[in-house]
Amino acid sequence: MRIAVVTGASSGLGSEFIRQINRKESLGEIWVIARRKERLQALQKQVRTKLRILPFDLTDRKSFREISALLAAEKPSVAILVNAAGFGKIGSYQDISLCDCDNMIDLNCRAAVDMTQTVLPYMPRGSRILQVCSTAAFQPFQYLNVYAASKSFLYRYSRALRVELFSRGIKVTAVCPYWIKDTEFIATAQKTGDSSYIRGFPLASREKHIVGMALRDSRIGLPVSTPGIVCTLHRIAAKFIPGELMMGIWELIRHL
């Protein structure tokens, strides 16, 4: 059976990936992974493709043993893997708990790698992997320090993995959007002791646009998808402007 696997599927980009994959791909099932079972069940009403509801917490390593066992039992052909699970916290190092720091690294980095490694044996030639990174991957960001560092890890992992999988005919795309106005990220990230570190989110994109461009970019085999003018310009600028100067520019922008 030909399937897609989507993590972080209960909201935001993850759920939008499911809706658009449902419309654009011919699949037997989409395996949807997130903690909130009721949201995954509600998502089934929005799509025609059958959803396999897998309410796992990817910060719990036991989840991967269960996913691995399910893959081994069913031996599906995984056409698309989308690693959209992740979260971020805005604030000073003083505001963000050690637990939140650990969970950001665990979910944004380890869980994405573990899911990729677990699913890869079931991906044939022509399959596609989309790793949801962020424009934050392109430079260090004060007051987003752990989040940006975790996305930089995932970005570089994706770029290297793409080269390793070239001979297998599997495409890997690092998806690096700018702020997204209609997901839960901004509200979740601001839940710190002081949410004034970033005053506004100008020119933020919408999830439908980001997911549509990301799927198109992965289909044509681009190594990086920057779905919007801000993240595209940011990627270019970060190649030529030193990191210290980029952080100085960010210090000005975050007060706007």
Tens digit of each residue's pLDDT (9 = 90 or more) over 128-139: 999 999 999 999
Q: Please give the pLDDT value at position 64.
A: 97
Beta strands in 97-245 (DSSP E): 128-132, 171-175, 224-225
Across 161-177, average pLDDT: 98
Query: Beta-strand (E) ranges in the chain?
Result: 2-7, 29-33, 50-54, 77-83, 128-132, 171-175, 224-225
pLDDT at 191: 65
Handedness of CA 128, 118, 32, 7 (dihedral sign): negative
Q: How confident is the model at residue 36 (pLDDT cuts 50, 70, 90)?
A: very high
The class that CATH gives domain 2-253 is: alpha beta
- Say whether 128 sits in a helix, a strand or coil: strand
Which pTM value belongs to this model? 0.93
Mean pLDDT of 210-223: 97
In terms of Cβ atoms closer than 10 Å to its own Cβ (0-12, 13-18, 19+), residue 227 is buried
Mean pLDDT confidence for 105-120: 98
Give the start-to-end residue ranges of the domains of the chain: 2-253
**pLDDT at site 190:** 61
The burial class, CB within 10 Å (0-12 / 13-18 / 19+), for 237 is middle
Model confidence at 68, pLDDT cuts 50, 70, 90, reads very high
